[in-house]
Amino acid sequence: MTRDDSDGAALPELDPVIHAQARLRVVAALNVLRDGDELAFNSMRDLLGMTAGNLSVHLSKLEDAGYVRITKTHKGRTPATYAALTPRGRLAFEDYTKAIRALLDTAGGAP
């Protein structure tokens, strides 16, 4: 999506699902994984320095958007949760990074 600035130039719109700082960090962390790989919830929590509750809320929003797949399982008797980007999530992140680059390029050309 794009919108016009005051000069009529098209500015890219940023995906509001990804644009929130915490969700951007989650998607960026998951994007470095290969297709089919998952990141354990506790590892992601530690990597991103987030609380379990905060991470859980943001993963749920990303899952609702179809950007993240959550897998819940058990290791022995201990519950384990894993997250991975879906193909839709990878595409959304790619589109988001293109939009950011275009926005920065536009800003860089401003007087």
The 10s digit of each residue's pLDDT in 59-91 is 999 999 999 999 999 988 999 999 999 999 999
φ/ψ of residue 40, rounded to 5: -65, 140
Determine contact, residues 11/106, Cβ cutoff 8 Å. yes
* Residue 111 binned pLDDT confidence (cut-offs 50, 70, 90): low
Three-state secondary structure call for residue 83:
strand
pLDDT, position 110: 53
Structural domain spans, the chain: 13-95
- Domain 13-95: which topology? Arc Repressor Mutant, subunit A (1.10.10)
The 10s digit of each residue's pLDDT in 26-42 is 999 999 999 989 999 99
Pick from 78, 90, 85, 89: nearest CA to 42: 78
Three-state secondary structure call for residue 51:
coil
Three-state secondary structure call for residue 15:
coil
Residues whose CB falls within 8 Å of the CB of residue 45, separated by 6 or more in sequence, listed in order: 51, 52, 55
